[in-house]
Amino acid sequence: NYEGSLTISADLAELVELQEYERILVGNLSNGERFETYAIYGVRNQGVIQLNGAAAHLGKTGDRLTIMSFGAYDSEEATTHQPKIIVLDEKNRVLEKRI
């Protein structure tokens, strides 16, 4: 009866300052699904990105995902905010950092 979530290796989450239990929007590039859930940390340096609970029905191993989080900023913060983006390979190793 697990509600859902997305497990992400703690080291990957920390690279982009994604907090554990933070609400995320997931886009599945392989099947077109888009859904909200929350992030939980997985074992560091294992490259784990795994859909859990109900969210697991919206993707399968090997699907390409875009994981997004959002913030609320005042007008001054919005002008200086820099998004943090990482691009991973098929084994969830970092290919590119835009941080």
What CATH number corresponds to the domain at position 67? Answer: 2.40.40.20
pTM score: 0.91
Cα–Cα distance for residue pair 85/49, rounded to 1 Å: 16
Catalytic annotation, residues: 5, 38
Cα–Cα distance for residue pair 60/86, rounded to 1 Å: 21
pLDDT at 1: 61
Domain carrying residue 51 = 4-98
Cα–Cα distance for residue pair 34/16, rounded to 1 Å: 20
Radius of gyration of the chain (CA): 14
Closest CA to 8 of 97, 70, 77, 88: 88
Tell me the pLDDT of the chain (99 aa) as tens digits. 676 799 999 999 999 999 999 999 999 999 999 999 999 999 999 999 999 999 999 999 999 999 999 999 999 999 999 999 999 999 999 999 998
DSSP code of residue 60: -
pLDDT at 35: 97
